[in-house]
């Protein structure tokens, strides 16, 4: 408890001027903290706008080099890559083909801007015809069969030049399986950014249109129940034990309690994902005149930092790069 109270204590003393407020500001967001998710589609000539995410497009594969150069020139330092495959099948085999869209897109991105960190989202929902994140057997995603395929996908992404592998399928044991698979293929230095605590969230709605992975049903048999907090910590702690190099909480804003508790529980770098639905809420509310978009974006990014995030995945990352924080 403070030893002295009002009128001796006046917290407004340090809020008087912008310079004073800057001096006592506890958190900052820089371009070193932001990762831009991008969507790349094969076989299209023009960018395809994502209606539920104003300002976001699916980038045609053939324009990728130019787009990546622009993103890097604007000041973005890392991208999370999502591909829209035209060669979907029951298991998502396009994802582990050396000439598949994923491998091609990673290569093109790295060639266009070698210094840009390319993070490969590692999952199957963009590559399966049913839209689930793995191999379906008797109406369920088969955990262990999917692990084998995730390792193949990760090695394919590593061979194509990815800088970080980011598994988002929410299979049990996926970090251990990927670590083993990558190590066996000689990629002992490849970092794993685990989507370690990922909820079965309605906030992913716009993403599914953006990435072309709408599904019948839901992902509740593998992604987490949004009502569970203790289990959320277990998920991340297990990924740490399996060898993850980063942990993540996803979605972001509705789950700051998890982020903050996880900050206390781990020394690993922590990532928050401000997901598609969070982006859409801000865009549509700002378009309706409900609030100032630029200020809201900064307030939300600052909140992730305050809660304990080191890194933030945000569709606003390029705007911040252009405008400054």
Among positive and negative, which fits the CA dihedral 228, 232, 235, 237?
A: negative
Per-residue interface string for the shown chain with ligand PBG, residues 6-45, x marking contact by CB under 6 A: ----------------------------------------
Whose Cβ is closer to ligand PBG: residue 65's or residue 130's? 130
Cα distance between residue 124 and residue 174, in whole Å: 13
# residues near ligand PBG by CB under 6 A = 10
Q: Which of 133, 136, 158, 244 binds ligand PBG (CB under 6 A)?
A: 133
Dihedral sign, Cα of residue 235, residue 251, residue 104, residue 95: positive
User: How far apart are the C-alpha atoms of 312 and 271, rounded to whole Å?
Assistant: 6
Please, which of residues 187-226 interact with ligand PBG by CB under 6 A?
204, 207, 219
From the list 121, 163, 239, 240, which residue makes contact with ligand PBG (rule: CB under 6 A)?
A: 121
Would you say 113 and 74 are in contact if contact means Cβ atoms under 8 Å apart?
A: no
Q: Least distance (Å) from ligand PBG to the CB of residue 84?
A: 12
3-state secondary structure 290-302: CCCHHHHHHHHHH
Q: Which one of 38, 125, 175, 312 is in contact with ligand PBG (CB under 6 A)?
A: 125
How far are the Cα atoms of 61, 114, 163 from residue 273, in angstroms, in the given order? 25, 24, 19
Least separation in angstroms between residue 169's CB and ligand PBG is 6
Q: According to CB under 6 A, which residues from 232 to 251 bind ligand PBG?
A: none
Of 128, 276, 300, 314, the residue at the interface with ligand PBG (CB under 6 A) is 276
Q: Of the ranges 25-33, 71-79, 121-129, 230-238, which one interacts with ligand PBG (CB under 6 A)?
A: 121-129
Residue nearest to ligand PBG according to CB distances in the complex: 207
Q: Which of 68-76, 119-127, 173-181, 238-246 is the region at the interface with ligand PBG (rule: CB under 6 A)?
A: 119-127
What SS3 class is residue 249?
strand
Nearer to ligand PBG, 121 or 163 (CB): 121
- The least distance separating ligand PBG from the CB of residue 173, rounded to whole angstroms, comes to 17
**How many residues belong to the chain?**
325
Q: How far is CA 37 from CA 7, 236, 313, in A?
A: 49, 22, 7
Please identify which residue in 168, 197, 236, 314 interacts with ligand PBG, judged by CB under 6 A: 168
Q: Tell me which stretch binds ligand PBG (CB under 6 A): 39-47, 87-95, 120-128, 298-306.
A: 120-128
> Residue 214 in 3-state DSSP?
coil
Dihedrals phi, psi of 24, to nearest 5 degrees: -105, 10
In angstroms, rounded to a whole number, what is the distance separating the alpha carbons of residues 12 and 151?
55
- Residue pair 29/69 in contact (Cβ under 8 Å)? The answer is no
Residues marked active site are found at 198, 250
What is the distance between the alpha carbons of residues 184 and 198, in angstroms, rounded to a whole number? 27
Backbone angles phi, psi at 250, to 5 degrees: -150, 130
Q: What's the min distance (Å) between Cβ of 10 and ligand PBG? A: 43
Cβ distance to ligand PBG smaller for residue 5 or 162 = 162
Planar angle of CA 165, 169, 171, nearest 5 degrees: 110
Pick from 297, 303, 302: nearest CA to 315: 297
Q: Binding segment for ligand PBG among 70-78, 117-125, 172-180, 283-291 (CB under 6 A)?
A: 117-125
Of 123, 150, 162, 312, which lies in the binding site for ligand PBG, with binding defined by CB under 6 A? Answer: 123
Binding site for ligand PBG (CB under 6 A): 121, 123, 125, 133, 168, 204, 207, 219, 275-276
């Amino acid at each position: 408890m403070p030893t002295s109270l009002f009128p001796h204590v006046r917290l407004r003393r340090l809020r008087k001027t912008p310079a004073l407020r800057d001096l006592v500001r506890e958190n900052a967001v820089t371009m070193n903290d932001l990762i831009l998710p991008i969507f790349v589609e094969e076989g299209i000539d023009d960018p395809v706008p994502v209606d539920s995410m104003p300002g976001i497009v699916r980038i045609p594969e053939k324009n990728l080099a130019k787009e990546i150069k622009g993103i890097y020139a604007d000041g973005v330092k890392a991208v999370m890559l999502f591909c829209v495959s035209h060669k979907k099948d029951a298991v998502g085999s396009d994802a582990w083909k050396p000439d598949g869209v994923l491998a091609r897109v990673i290569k093109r991105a790295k060639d266009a801007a070698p210094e840009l960190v390319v993070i490969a989202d590692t999952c199957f929902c963009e590559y399966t015809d049913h839209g689930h994140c793995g191999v379906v057997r008797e109406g369920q995603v088969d955990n262990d069969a999917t692990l084998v395929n995730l390792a193949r996908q990760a090695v394919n992404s590593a061979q194509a030049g990815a800088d970080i592998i980011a598994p988002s399928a929410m299979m049990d044991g996926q970090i251990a399986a990927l670590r083993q698979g990558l190590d066996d293929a000689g990629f002992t230095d490849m970092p794993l950014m685990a989507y370690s605590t990922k909820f079965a969230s309605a906030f992913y709605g716009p993403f599914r249109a953006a990435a072309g992975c709408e599904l019948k049903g839901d992902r509740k048999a593998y992604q987490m129940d949004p009502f569970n907090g203790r289990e959320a910590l277990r998920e991340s702690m297990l990924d740490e034990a399996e060898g993850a190099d980063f942990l993540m909480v996803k979605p972001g804003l509705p789950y700051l309690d998890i982020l903050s508790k996880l900050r206390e529980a781990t020394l690993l770098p922590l990532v928050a994902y401000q997901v598609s639905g969070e982006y859409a809420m801000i865009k549509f509310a700002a378009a309706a005149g409900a609030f100032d978009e630029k200020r809201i974006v900064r307030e939300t990014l600052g909140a992730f930092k305050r809660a304990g995030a080191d890194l933030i995945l945000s569709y606003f990352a390029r705007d911040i790069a252009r405008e400054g924080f």
